[in-house]
Every structure is written in C-alpha cells, then in structure tokens.
Structure 1
Amino acid sequence: MYRAKVYVTYKDSILDPQAEAVKTALHQLNFSELQQLTCGKYFELVLATSKEKAAATVEQMCQKLLANVNMESYRYELEAC
C-alpha cells in the first residue's frame, strides 16, 4: 500500500483571491514582513497497489478531478505505508 500526499495550488499566472484576502488580513494584524502567500488544497490518499500503479492512478485522479489543470498545478509524494 502507498500513501499519496497531493498538493494543488493556483498557477503563478492565476489570481488567488483567497490568498490575497488572507495576506491582507495578516498585514492588518501587523505582519508586514509577509511578501507572498499561496493557498491551496491538500489530499491524502491510501492506495492498495504497487508503487508504479499508485503513481499512475494518482496522476489520473489529479488530471480528472483533484486539480483544474487549466488553472492549477499539482505535485504529489508517494510513500509506503
């Protein structure tokens, strides 16, 4: 079995309104040293298969549902569990 940790964020060219709102709020709380903030999604999946099949399955899941590939980028890590 393998655990996949999937991280999804907006591409650099896409405005992230949630991140901008959080950044503004943090500046209002006097965290003026904050220059950039990114918000995203995190998924943890456990797959009962080989490492190669798990990687292929996670890739398909990201392409089809977990990430909007037009606006978001993703990366994942696989570890045995």
Structure 2
Amino acid sequence: MQPLPTSCPPGLVPDTTDVDAFNAAYRRAKQQHQVFVAVEEQGQRWTVKADTLAAGPGHTIVDSTYDAIRAAVIRLIRS
C-alpha cells in the first residue's frame, strides 16, 4: 500500500460491497500490519472508518494522515 497523501491506484482499491470481499480486504490489512480504511455509503451519507487494530498494538494515526484521508473523502463526495 502506498503512503498518504499519494493517491492509491484504482486497481489496488478493492470493491468490498460483498461481505466476503470486505472480510478478505480486512484480513490482508491485518497480515500486512496496515490501518484498514473503509468508506461506506449509507443512504445519503458517507461514513469513513479507520481501524488501527489491523495494524497491530500501539499503532496510532497522526494528524497529517487524518487530514489527508479527510481531504480525499471530501474530493470523493464532491465528485
């Protein structure tokens, strides 16, 4: 996975609308000790979740990463 704020190539972003695909993507994040980030559409609202448990104990998200994720989500919503 590429570090933020570099955009991730579309081929590396899994479509996890299927539960099995979601679970597989989460397992891969855990195996690679990476934060799992999911964007969900819930009706007319979007929810972004970052699961640091997948990265392992003691992992935190610094403010610059939060800001980059937030900016990417805002661009996604506007497009």
TM-score normalised over the length of structure 2: 0.29
Higher strand fraction (1 or 2): 1
Higher relative contact order (Cα pairs below 8 Å, separated by 6+ residues): 1
Whose radius of gyration is greater, 1 or 2? 1
TM-score normalised over the length of structure 1: 0.29
Higher helix fraction (1 or 2): 2
